[in-house]
Amino acid sequence: MAAKKGTGLLMVWCDVPEDQEDEFNRWYNGEHIAEILTVPGVLSAARYEAVVNGPKHLACYELDSPAAVLGDGFTKRTKSKWSETMGPTLIGTNFFNPLYEMIYPYSLTDEVANSGIAPALHVGRLAIPADRATEWNDWYDTIFVPNFETVPGIIRGRRYKTVRGEEPAYSVVYELENEMASRSPEWEAQITANPRNAEMMGLISHGYGSPSIYKKTFEL
């Protein structure tokens, strides 16, 4: 079975003008996703729309490793004439496309590698003081994510370090069974469930639109 996820993730966010949205979606769904999936090391992809916060449009590309989009296979891929006039870099606002490397789980398990793309995502893009990073990361890995993973409807949480892009240093991506899973009383209860949470959460500065919830709209 071919892996569907690796240790890299490319996330592309943007808003687009309302009068160009139909064409943007036709281009993305009819051409662009399939084009990117021809790049070696790009394992799977899906598009999402914002349910809470934004930007409205999000495309997620699961990568064997971050190197998949850093080499010639990605930068020199064949592009259509349509791509010369359409795309998030051309018509998008609030555009950012950080490239991430997974830092939690600490290694790629078969369960993660072979899992499908989630119906919904809860995404946090987080900056913290550098001098607290070791303590904060330990708390996030051993307390915060595992506790949220006990909430009904939460498939798993994965954490990432930004390797390209003017982004907060960290991102967390919770895979959800549906877009309501992280708006439940059980989720809310975990925010204050551990005595360390208040102090560690107080260190966080969020990136634009974070935290956000997205619902899947397209997958080949």
For residue 176, the domain's CATH number is 3.30.70.100
pLDDT band at 166 (very low <50, low <70, confident <90, very high): confident
Structural domains counted in the chain? 1
Residue 144, domain member (yes or no): yes
Say if residue 88 is preceded by a cis peptide, omega within 30 of 0.
no
Tens digits of residue pLDDT in 53-83: 999 999 999 999 999 999 888 888 888 899 9
pLDDT band at 2 (very low <50, low <70, confident <90, very high): confident
Measured distance CA(144)–CA(76) in Å, rounded = 40
Residue 2, domain member (yes or no): no
Q: How many residues does the chain have?
A: 220
Q: Which two tokens stand for residue 66?
A: 């971050």
Tens digits of residue pLDDT in 198-214: 999 999 999 999 999 99
Range of the domain at 117: 8-218
Q: Which two tokens stand for residue 114?
A: 């072979």
Average pLDDT over residues 20-35: 97
pLDDT of residue 77: 87
pLDDT of residue 76: 85
44, 212, 162, 103: CA torsion to nearest 10: -70
Residue 13, domain member (yes or no): yes
Q: Which of 44-53, 137-146, 157-166, 196-205 has the lowest mean pLDDT?
A: 157-166
Where does 64-98 show beta strands of DSSP type E?
93-96
Average pLDDT over residues 157-162: 98
User: Is a pLDDT exceeding 90 seen at residue 1?
Assistant: no
Residue 205, domain member (yes or no): yes
SS3 198: helix
Average pLDDT over residues 3-8: 97
Residue 1, domain member (yes or no): no
Tens digits of residue pLDDT in 93-133: 999 999 999 999 999 999 999 999 999 999 999 999 999 99
Identity at 186, one-letter amino acid code: E
pLDDT of residue 73: 85
Residue 3, domain member (yes or no): no
Measured distance CA(213)–CA(17) in Å, rounded = 21
Q: Is 167 within 8 Å of 125 (Cβ atoms)?
A: yes
